[in-house]
Amino acid sequence: MSVEKCTVYHEKQRWQMCALHALNNVFQDGKAFQKQNLDEICQSLAPSSRPNPHKSMLGLGNYDINVIMAALQRKDCEAVWWDKRRNPNELNLRNIIGFIVNTTSPIKVGYVNLPIKPKHWIALRQIDNVYYNLDSKLSKPVEIGNSDAFLDYLKEGVNLKTWQLILVVSQNVAEDRTWLISKDVATQS
């Protein structure tokens, strides 16, 4: 009897394309978005602005949350900001496609960390009942574990000042707010 090995799609960092990588990693599809798609979104958000305020002046990426939110809407999804004052145990993980974390990321020159800490987008996602950190700066996906381990991971993360958690959900789930466990269900368990 052969055991099928789980395949996890993981884009690695190039330029300042972490938003692009996070989106593709959440959707587990390298063709979900291309640089051109995100650049078009930037243009539509600020058609007459030069330079465009939603990306790097150099054209190397560094897309902001407005671009991510518009990109998600093209996939019939929504971004929901997680209120850090809430307990992640309130999340209805079954109704969440994935997570995008905005955090800081040190810049290294050789072995030296520079005092500059630009923002960085990271994807977190469940695949075959296992949660993964799909940070594009990692050489490979890092297994977080089952839903209990993942909730513990989120609790630690949301306590960090540098972490902002964004839920990726379908438009229906966003409208119905079923990304939260309903109080009726929570009191029954």
Neighbours of 130 (CB within 10 A): 17
pLDDT in tens, 34-78: 999 999 998 888 788 788 777 777 767 788 998 999 999 999 999
Contact 60, 16 (CB under 8 A): yes
Tokens matching residue 22: 């996070």
Domains of the chain (ranges, CATH numbers): 18-188 (3.90.70.40)
CA 80 to chain centre: 11
pLDDT in tens, 126-175: 999 999 999 999 999 999 999 999 999 999 999 988 899 999 999 999 99
Distance CA 74, CA 83 (A): 24
Does the active-site annotation cover 21? Answer: no
- Out of 10, 18, 21, 42, the active site residue is 18
- Out of 10, 21, 54, 120, the active site residue is 120
Q: Among 102, 96, 65, 113, which residue's Cα sits nearest to residue 167?
A: 96
Does the active-site annotation cover 18? Answer: yes
* pTM over 0.75, yes/no: yes
pLDDT in tens, 74-84: 999 999 999 99
Within 13 Å and on the Cβ side, how many CA atoms surround 168? 27
Distance CA 20, CA 14 (A): 10
Average pLDDT over residues 94-111: 84
Residue 185 pLDDT > 60: no
